[in-house]
Amino acid sequence: MKSFRKELWFETRNRREYINITPTIAEALRESGIKEGLLLCNAMHITSSVFINDDESGLHNDFEKWLEKLAPEKPYSQYTHNGFEDNADAHLKRTIMGREVVAAVTNGKLDLGPWEQIFYGEFDGKRKKRVLVKIIGE
Ligand code: ZN
C-alpha cells in the first residue's frame, strides 16, 4: 500500500471565503501516483472547513446568510468564547460545515458525483491556515 501526504496553505483576503480546491486536490492525487484508494482532505484549523457541494455563487451566498442566522459574527460580546478572541462564530460555523471530506480514488481520478466539488470554507481568515491531504491506496 502506498501513502501520500501534502499540506495546502491558504491566506484569504476576507474573514469568510469559499474556495474551490478540487483542481488542487486533483493535482495532489496525480502527484501521489495512487490509482485506487481513498483520499482524505481536512482542515487543520478549528475555524475552517472542508466540504463538498455545488460550485454555484448563489448557493455560496445562501450559505453565508444561513450561517450568519445560525451563528452571527456580531455582536462579539454574545459569545462566552470571545473573552480573548472574536471568533466564536467561526468555531460554530466550522462545526456545521464540517471538518473533512473523504473521496474515493478510481482509475487515478477523484470519483465524485456529477456536481460535487471540494471546497475550503474559511470563517476566520486573513491569516495563513492549512489543509491536509492524505491519500492511501495503490
Ligand atoms: Zn477561538
Domain of residue 108 covers 2-137
Q: How far is the CA of 55 from the centre of ligand 1 (A)?
A: 28
| % residues pLDDT > 90 (the chain) | 100
Closest CA to 123 of 34, 16, 31: 16
Confidence of residue 28 (pLDDT cuts 50, 70, 90): very high
Number of structural domains, the chain?
1
Q: How far is the CA of 138 from the centre of ligand 1 (A)?
A: 39
Q: What is the pLDDT of residues 35-66, one digit of tens each?
A: 999 999 999 999 999 999 999 999 999 999 99
CATH number of the domain that residue 46 is part of = 2.60.120.460
CA separation, residue 73 to residues 78, 99, 129 (Å): 9, 20, 20
Render 38-95 in DSSP notation, one character per residue.
Answer: EEEEEESSTTEEEEEE---HHHHHHHHHHHHHHS-S--GGG-GGGGT-S-HHHHHHHH
Q: How far is the CA of 47 from the centre of ligand 1 (A)?
A: 7
State residue 21's pLDDT score: 98
